[in-house]
């Protein structure tokens, strides 16, 4: 059924356009790397602060930077969908792709715990020099680990599976 | 040219191109270094350009050791990746453009640190210009690096 879906997707005009115009793939790849940097860097500043580096930073204003990390994620969601639509067959049976999705799912769960547990509000009250509670440090470390993991599995797509 | 061929046939070059996991591992490290360096630099640059005005600029200076760690991660992983494929990479125009952009970006990064963290005069116009330049230069370096896979050797 998944194979049939991939075949159907590959036959759509959108999918054909992605592989037909030779500039689309490299352009999206470049944007995907820029999005990756925006995500890792701007979310990373908050994570590093919560982990105890950059301790003098007040936490609340960092949320403005996190928005740019979310923007980076949005870039990567769109460009990632372009890759998937363009060549679905090379992703659906790719073990690295499955792990990449799993790590993204775990990152979303981690984020949900951070906001729904009220920890996000707690850490927003942290001023210069204040230490984040252990639970927030754990979530920040998990966030870094998972996003670096997403990147790792993405990089492994051509080597563990067959994607280009 | 003989030197480049010698590099790629050296034990280090053979090790990288001959093994299954060294090459992908190096690519991962290179991407991680990129994410750290360009990502943290984007946070700093955005702040200097007016995003998140409540973030005290002075307290962002400790980002530099992390950014340099990302840089050296990539200088080392990039050098080893180069050795494995020296003749082809040296002749790839995108690679030359990438190196030039990185060289200029490093100069800008050092100038930016001096300019933005010198005193308490707020963000100067020069700091904003340098911040914008560094965002564009690193984005350009990423672009050139990505395009290396698509541009072929000169001649």
pLDDT per residue of chain A (164 residues) written in tens, 0 to 9:
788 899 999 999 999 999 899 999 999 999 999 999 999 999 999 999 999 999 999 999 999 999 999 999 999 999 999 999 999 999 998 999 999 999 999 999 999 999 999 999 999 999 999 999 999 999 999 999 999 999 999 999 988 876 76
* Closest chain A residue to the Cα of B57, Cα to Cα: A57
Question: How far is B39 from A75, CA to CA, in rounded Å?
Answer: 14
Domain hosting residue A51, numbered range: 2-160
Which ipTM value was assigned to this complex? Answer: 0.94
Number of compact structural domains in chain A: 1
Cβ B52–A64 below 8 Å, yes or no?
yes
Q: Where are the domains of chain B?
A: 2-147
Neighbours of B121 (CB within 10 A): 7
Cβ B31–A151 below 8 Å, yes or no?
yes
Cβ A65–B52 below 8 Å, yes or no?
yes
Question: How far is B129 from A123, CA to CA, in rounded Å?
Answer: 33
Q: How many CA atoms lie within 13 A of A56 on its CB side?
A: 8
Which of A76, A154, A63, A150 lies closest to A106, judged by CA? A150
pLDDT digits (tens, 9 = 90+) for B29-74: 999 999 999 999 999 999 999 999 999 999 999 999 999 999 999 9
Question: How far is A108 from B84, CA to CA, in rounded Å?
Answer: 38
Residue B61 in contact with partner chain A when CB distance is under 8 A: no
Nearest to A41 among B40, B139, B150 (CB): B40
Return the structure tokens found at A126: 């942290």
Q: How many CA atoms lie within 13 A of A110 on its CB side?
A: 20
Q: For residues B128 and B96, is the Cβ–Cβ distance under 8 A?
A: no
Which of A1, A150, A128 lies closest to A76, judged by CA? A150
Q: For residues A155 and A36, is the Cβ–Cβ distance under 8 A?
A: no
Residue B118 in contact with partner chain A when CB distance is under 8 A: no
């Amino acid at each position: 059924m998944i194979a049939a879906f991939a075949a159907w997707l590959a036959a759509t005009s959108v999918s054909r356009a992605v592989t037909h115009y030779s500039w689309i793939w490299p352009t999206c790849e470049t944007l995907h790397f820029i999005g990756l940097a925006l995500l890792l860097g701007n979310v990373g500043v908050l994570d590093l602060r919560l982990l105890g580096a950059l301790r003098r930073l007040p936490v609340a204003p960092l949320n403005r930077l996190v928005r740019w990390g979310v923007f980076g994620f949005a870039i990567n969601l769109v460009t990632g969908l372009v890759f998937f639509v363009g060549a679905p067959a090379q992703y659906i049976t790719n073990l690295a792709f499955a792990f990449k999705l799993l790590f993204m799912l775990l990152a979303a769960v981690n984020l949900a715990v951070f906001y729904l547990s009220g920890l996000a509000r707690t850490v927003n009250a942290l001023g210069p020099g204040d230490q984040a509670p252990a639970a927030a440090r754990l979530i920040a470390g998990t966030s870094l680990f998972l996003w670096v993991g997403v990147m790792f599995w993405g990089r492994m797509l051509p080597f563990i599976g067959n994607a280009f | 040219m003989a030197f480049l061929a010698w590099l790629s046939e050296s034990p280090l070059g053979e090790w990288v191109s001959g093994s299954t996991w060294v090459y992908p591992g190096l690519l991962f490290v290179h991407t991680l270094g990129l994410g750290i360096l360009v990502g943290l630099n984007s946070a700093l640059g955005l702040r200097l350009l007016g995003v998140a005005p409540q973030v005290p600029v002075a307290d962002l200076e400790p980002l530099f050791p992390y950014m340099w760690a990302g840089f050296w991660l990539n200088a080392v992983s990039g050098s080893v990746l180069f050795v494995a494929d020296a003749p082809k990479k040296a002749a790839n125009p995108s690679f030359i453009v990438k190196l030039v952009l990185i060289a200029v970006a490093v100069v800008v990064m050092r100038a930016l640190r001096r300019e933005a963290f010198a005193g308490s005069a707020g963000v100067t116009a020069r700091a904003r210009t340098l911040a914008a330049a560094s965002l564009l230069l690193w984005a350009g370096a990423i672009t050139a690096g990505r395009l290396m896979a698509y541009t072929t050797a000169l001649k």
